Amino acid sequence: MFDDTRPIFLQLADQLASDILRGTYAEGEQVPSTNELAAHMRINPATAGKALNLLVDEEILFKKRGIGMFVSEGARQRIAADRQQGLTESYVKPLLAEAQVLGLTAADIIRLIEKETKQ
CATH of 8-74, one of 3.20.20.450, 3.30.360.10, 1.20.1250.20, 1.10.10.10: 1.10.10.10
Average pLDDT for 66-72: 96
Distance CA 69, CA 52 (A): 8
* Position 2 confidence tier, pLDDT thresholds 50, 70, 90: confident
Q: What pTM was computed for the model?
A: 0.83
- Comparing CA positions, the residue from 51, 54, 29, 27 lying closest to residue 40 is 51
Cα 12 to chain centroid distance, Å, stands at 9
State the chain's maximal CA–CA distance in angstroms.
Answer: 60
Tens digit of pLDDT for each residue in 86-113?
999 999 999 999 999 999 999 999 999 9
- Comparing CA positions, the residue from 65, 69, 64 lying closest to residue 13 is 69
User: Residue 79 has what pLDDT?
Assistant: 98
Domain coordinates of the chain in residue numbers? 8-74, 76-118
